[in-house]
Amino acid sequence: MDAALKDFKKFTPKSLPKVENLAQGHRACQGCGEVLALRMALKAIGKNMIVASATGCMEIITSAYPQTAWEVPWIHVAFENAAAVASGIEAGRKALMRKGRIPKQRTTIVAMAGDGGTADIGLQALSGALERQHDFVYICLDNEAYMNTGVQRSSSTPYGAMTTTSPPGKLSIGQYTWKKNVPAIAAAHAIPYVATASPAYYTDLMNKAKKAAMIKGPAYLHVYSPCPTGWRLAPELAVDISRLAVQTKVFPLYEVVDGRYIMSRKIKKPKPVEEYLKLQGRFRHLDKKTIQEIQDRVNREYEALVQKAALTASKEETAEEGKK
């Protein structure tokens, strides 16, 4: 892996690429944090890519025939099979390159889907593609519910959240299950690269997208994608909420590189989870007890992550940590 990243150069605010793969004028909602995250990930990877998209918000807002927002080759087949379609593109190109039918050039194959297309209906295809070690980047744009169909709950919807199929009521607190940990599922496939990213930390997101593309073999990127429409959030707050999600430890930023967990941002002085929840109408109904329950769970999960990072750290990292 280190060899693949030999030429890796970090993006800085001054060295952002000018390339745009997603043209303006698409049909995303005002303040959409998902399309923002997608645009930055695509900028980081560059022109030499082919995208396989699942059905979902990003597909619907960019491709209404006869218009397209895509300036790179893009294919949409169905909801649950982005990873399988990407597998096919990769396999097809591999065979054609070997047989001398197309020029030998490594192209980044990107599969992209929302949380429903990843954590629920597309999980099998994703697992298959990761297990088969295809050389591709899977980007999950996680807006924590089925937004395209009108805000229904997915297995990635956080505990307590109100959606149209997890409504709070006399007998319900809203979503009654805890968010499925898909990055951990991806990491369990022992693939070379897994990372979480957030549009609020855009250079971090872009660096991770670039690394994911450079690394040979499957890479999984889980991107926090705020949805003002579905979260009952003010449209101008998409980036703020993304930052708060990280600062409250709700959405930790980390990488799993060849099985080693690396915290991208250590949250020494976390903000209370309540600050994050209270900005969003989907959590408005939660009482103090439930908020405390969420706070405890967030603390526990973050601690588990930090411990994993300590356990899997390389010698150099441990030494560096000791100096601090």
Partner 1 sequence: MPKRVGIEVSLAASEAACAADTDVVAAYPITPQTHIVEHLSELVADGKLDAEFVPVESEHSAMSVCIGSSAAGARTFTATSSQGLALMHEILFIAPALRTPIVMVVANRALSGPISIWNDHSDIMAERDVGWIQTFAENGQEVFDLIIHAFRVAEDPEVLLPVMVNLDGFTLSHVIEPIEMLSASEVKRYLKPYKPQMVLDPKNPVTMGPVGMPEVYTEAKQQIESLLQGSKKVILKAWKEFAKHYGRTYKPVETYRTKGAEVVLMTMGSVSETAMTAVDRMWDKGIRVGLMRFRLWRPFPLQEFRRAMRGVKVLAVLDRAISYGGLGGPVFTEVRSALYGTFEQPQVFGFVAGLGGRDITVDMFEEMVKKAIRYAKRGKGPTYELIGVRER
Longest dimension (CA), the chain: 65
Q: Show the site string, 193-232: x = touches partner 1 by CB under 8 A, - = not.
A: ----------------------------------------
Decide whether 90 or 142 has the Cβ nearer to partner 1.
90
- CB 85, CB 113: distance < 8 Å: no
Paired tokens of 157:
């919807």
Site membership for partner 1, residue 101 (CB under 8 A): yes
When binding is defined by CB under 8 A, the residue of 12, 15, 124, 149 that contacts partner 1 is 124
Decide whether 97 or 239 has the Cβ nearer to partner 1.
97
Paired tokens of 231:
């979260």
The count of other CB atoms within 10 Å of the CB of residue 50 is 18
- CB 75, CB 132: distance < 8 Å: no
Q: Least CB distance from residue 39 to partner 1, whole Å?
A: 16
Closest CA to 209 of 226, 224, 222, 192: 222
d(CA 313, CA 254): 13
Residue 13 pairs in a beta bridge with none
- The span of 7-15, 86-94, 261-269, 278-286 binding partner 1 (CB under 8 A) equals 86-94
90-93 long-range Cβ contacts below 8 angstroms, 24+ apart: 90/134, 90/135, 90/136, 91/134
Q: Show the site string, 42-61: x = touches partner 1 by CB under 8 A, - = not.
A: -----xxxx-x------xx-
Site membership for partner 1, residue 63 (CB under 8 A): yes
d(CA 232, CA 112): 25
Site membership for partner 1, residue 71 (CB under 8 A): yes
Site membership for partner 1, residue 172 (CB under 8 A): no
Decide whether 53 or 163 has the Cβ nearer to partner 1.
53
The count of other CB atoms within 10 Å of the CB of residue 273 is 22
Site membership for partner 1, residue 72 (CB under 8 A): yes
When binding is defined by CB under 8 A, the residue of 127, 152, 165, 203 that contacts partner 1 is 127
- The span of 94-102, 171-179, 195-203, 236-244 binding partner 1 (CB under 8 A) equals 94-102
Closest CA to 184 of 156, 225, 215, 217: 156
Decide whether 78 or 185 has the Cβ nearer to partner 1.
78
Is 297 buried (19+), middle (13-18) or exposed (0-12) by CB count in 10 A? middle
d(CA 67, CA 168): 40
Site membership for partner 1, residue 314 (CB under 8 A): no
When binding is defined by CB under 8 A, the residue of 85, 227, 237, 294 that contacts partner 1 is 85
Site membership for partner 1, residue 99 (CB under 8 A): yes
Angle at 117 between CA 90 and CA 85, to 5 degrees: 20
Residues touching partner 1: how many (CB under 8 A)?
Answer: 47
Decide whether 132 or 271 has the Cβ nearer to partner 1.
132
Angle at 37 between CA 35 and CA 42, to 5 degrees: 90
When binding is defined by CB under 8 A, the residue of 5, 20, 29, 88 that contacts partner 1 is 88
Q: Site residues (CB under 8 A) for partner 1?
A: 47-50, 52, 59-60, 63-66, 68, 70-78, 80-81, 84-96, 98-99, 101-102, 107, 124-125, 127-128, 131-132
